[in-house]
Structure 1
Amino acid sequence: MGPILDALRYLGGSGKPREVSELVAERLSVPDKKQEETLKSGQSRFHNQVAWARQYLVWEGLLDSSTRGVWSLTEKGNETKLSDEAGRQIFLKWVKIHSDARKKGTDPDIPAAIEQSVDDDDHKQVLLEVLKGLTPEGFERVCARLLRESGFEKVTVTGGPKDEGIDGIGILQVNPFVSFKVLFQCKRYKGAVSRAQVGDFRNAMIGRADKGIIMTTGTFTTDARREADRDGAPPVELVDGEKLVEMFESIELGLKPKRIYQVDHAFFAPYLAKND
């Protein structure tokens, strides 16, 4: 938890979840192999653990509870330094609060341990499983639909036996004067896309487009991410399963919104009796 607070301070008080997670991994020298481990849902285990640590910081009032895809320090969080032991005490405190609430039947939806990832009926995992169950052609078509809904024009699926790794093409119109030709590749994976695969895609797109996108239901190795951002090479945008789900959520494509409420225990904590 302490490294999350430190990372957010370094970023100026707020940051995107993946940005924070990668900075924490860098500062703690987390091995690439560890970062590439996944849960059964296909999510990064390390990123999932960072996200849960963030949730405890929210309950403690050190981060705000915004669900808009940005993590932000509260005034209290900006002034707080946490040792590993202090973080452990926060964890134990909130596990007890939620455990007691579950016993009273007032908090059935809060997991009891940080290792628990997502419930079986969580829409993110369900959506990923649906995407993985599509045919290769079906996944290409739904990715093309996602790009169209996200503002791309003239999106065409070109995939086939001789596609050279290029599954489609589209035009992103930035403004009336500027547009980009974009090639995309769709990988219906359960595992991780490698550095070599990113390099092969880039080689196939050189001279044919301004930018490339690889979309996968899986993940990318750390080396693949480095290859995508390599200086002097045409840029390749990487969209892993987690980010893919977020894109479907942002435009409500293939998803029906459902509003639920969850008790904010951090809000009520100052009003609890000392012996509660």
Structure 2
Amino acid sequence: MAVPDFQTIMYPFLEVIKDGQIYSLDQMVEMLSVHFSLNSDDLRERIPSGKQPLFRNRVGWSRSYLDKAGLIITPSRGHYQITELGKQALNDATLSYINIAFLRRFEAFQQWESTFNSEGSNDLTGSTVIEEIQAETPDVIIGKATENLHKSLKYELLQLLKSKTPDFFERFVVELLAKMGYGGVDASNFEVVGQSNDGGIDGIIYQDHLRIEKIYVQAKKWDSTKVSPKDIRDFIGALNLKGTTKGVFITTSTFTNEALNAANQNPHNKIVLIDSDRLLELAIQFNVGIQTKKIIEIKEIDNDFFED
């Protein structure tokens, strides 16, 4: 048979791991290829770039969408396990097929998909998208796809950061600032100091080898609580106790308008505020917790070459 599309793979994907064990991607590809009775020719078929087998690629996309809905988890890289939510879905006697429309029942998937809805509907399976693709030029299609991948990456990165410990987030922040060039290239110019009695300081950037010039860092790993003006004033107070006016306040949340104003009230203070969106953009730009999956070259005719 022909290689099935990624939505057709999703229900069998859950079925073969319903025992709750952890399976690798190679095991999933093998078990699912047996389920769909794929022959050697089917398994040799590759995606247009030629860099990956088509079936393996579609199994990967199925995994990604099931994960977004919370039906599976990835306990380690390239390994998958069904969740209680996934088991509950399989217990539905009327269910025999899973597609994106079904995944929209789950809050986690709704939250993920909402990241694409800033410019109207984005039904990933409906006729609207097909009509848009047919009406757009390839450059526009590639641009929109790239934008959606970028939004999805930011969403996944934020969820990962929120799932980690405060200590991990503090180390992440210091690593990011190091990649951005603060403190030079010497790793000893950075120090994570966040403790229960840190006085509002989680990290220190030493701007010179004698450690005279310092920038202090506050890292707040919050889910939804916005940073208040009191938090900013407390941070400024902690800076004053250290004898400095330079600080960077970074959060996985956002700042209230009053907090933004509090940071700018004193012109002598140099307080930089970085909210979740800016944090994610910087992490992606400087490849902290991020890796490049592939680079695509788009070529065009060199008209100058052909001119007389």
- If the length of structure 2 is used for normalisation, what is the TM-score? 0.46
Alignment of 1:245 onto 2:298:
no
What residue number does 2:132 align with? 101
What residue number does 1:203 align with? 237
Question: Which amino acid in 1 is paired with 2:161?
Answer: L
Alignment of 1:129 onto 2:159:
yes
* Matched-pair identity in %: 28
Moved more, 199-208 or 164-173: 164-173
Contact 1:180/1:211 (<8 A) preserved = no
Alpha-carbon shift at residue 260 of structure 1 (Å): 5.5
Deviations 1:55-80 (A, max 9, x none): xxxxxxxxxxxxxxxxxxxxxxxxxx
For residues 186 and 145 of structure 1, the distance between their equivalents in structure 2, rounded to whole angstroms, comes to: 12
Contact 1:151/1:172 (<8 A) preserved = no
C-alpha RMSD of the superposition: 4.1
Question: Which amino acid in 1 is paired with 2:286?
Answer: I
Larger radius of gyration: 2
Match of 2:201 among 151, 166, 169: 166
Q: Secondary structure at the match of 1:206?
A: helix
Match of 2:215 among 182, 206, 210: 182
Deviating above 3 A after TM superposition, structure 1's stretches of 4 or more consecutive aligned residues are 96-99, 102-111, 117-121, 258-262
What residue number does 2:290 align with? 255
| TM alignment of 1:1-276, pairs within 5 A | 40=111, 100-102=131-133, 122-153=152-183, 154-172=189-207, 180-191=213-224, 192-208=226-242, 209-257=244-292, 258-259=294-295
Alpha-carbon shift at residue 182 of structure 1 (Å): 0.6
For residues 235 and 168 of structure 1, the distance between their equivalents in structure 2, rounded to whole angstroms, comes to: 16
Deviations 1:141-200 (A, max 9, x none): 111111222222311111111111111111235xx9xx8411101111122111110111
For residues 281 and 196 of structure 2, the distance between their equivalents in structure 1, rounded to whole angstroms, comes to: 30
What residue number does 2:63 align with? none
- If the length of structure 1 is used for normalisation, what is the TM-score? 0.51
Alpha-carbon shift at residue 99 of structure 1 (Å): 6.4
Contact 2:245/2:271 (<8 A) preserved = no
Task: Provide closer, same or farther for how the CA distance between residues 230 and 261 of structure 1 changes in structure 2, counting only shifts above 3 A.
Answer: farther
Question: Which amino acid in 1 is paired with 2:206?
Answer: I
Flag structure 1 segments of 5+ consecutive residues without an equivalent.
1-38, 54-95, 112-116, 263-276
Contact 2:236/2:245 (<8 A) preserved = no
For residues 199 and 288 of structure 2, the distance between their equivalents in structure 1, rounded to whole angstroms, comes to: 29
Contact 2:223/2:252 (<8 A) preserved = yes
Contact 1:248/1:254 (<8 A) preserved = yes
For residues 297 and 254 of structure 2, the distance between their equivalents in structure 1, rounded to whole angstroms, comes to: 31
Task: Provide closer, same or farther for how the CA distance between residues 120 and 243 of structure 1 changes in structure 2, counting only shifts above 3 A.
Answer: closer
Q: Secondary structure at the match of 1:219?
A: coil
For residues 134 and 169 of structure 2, the distance between their equivalents in structure 1, rounded to whole angstroms, comes to: 44
